A and B are shown apart, each in its own frame.
Chain A
Amino acid sequence: GQQLNQSPQSMFIQEGEDVSMNCTSSSIFNTWLWYKQDPGEGPVLLIALYKAGELTSNGRLTAQFGITRKDSFLNISASIPSDVGIYFCAGQRTTDSWGKFQFGAGTQVVVTP
């Protein structure tokens, strides 16, 4: 079953608006990854986070590794139509073998002009 709680499940926004989504868990993580998946393709890595409190940006995307090490969020600023897709969080728990990741269920983002 899902180890990570990702929310919201979906969001419909207007072009230019900001988007925020997050992942939470009862477990402690040492790595957080954020991916975007377009229809018919595999997920593409957007941002990787390795330290509690770390705040990292990639263009209009910003992600943070929560201080408690149990959560992470992703923000997209000034959304554009090509931001449409499914965004997944993935985390590596401290109790898992190195390299094994848990995935959230995804956030479907729809951007209307």
Chain B
Amino acid sequence: QQQVKQSPQSLIVQKGGISIINCAYENTAFDYFPWYQQFPGKGPALLIAIRPDVSEKKEGRFTISFNKSAKQFSLHIMDSQPGDSATYFCAARMDSSYKLIFGSGTRLLVRP
């Protein structure tokens, strides 16, 4: 119930392509869904976040798509660049809680 399932575990995309990472959850009490980006040797950094009252949020090349009925959300990286190569974590949080519950992470490699 408290889990967030993330896929794929790793992803290789050509430069200019679209990277898509998916997450699913069970607990309908979750009401905040951030994506974090982590480079080697660094901490997770907030990339973009969404709440369930919208189905899509776009910031530059990064888009979150949210499907409330399916309890799924995904990160799309358009025009992927080698500099986007990092590990991406989805997460979820309930309004009644402080803790972020993280997915297992996706290691993205964008080939030049």
Q: Do A and B come from one complex?
A: no
Interface residues of A (CB under 8 A from B): none
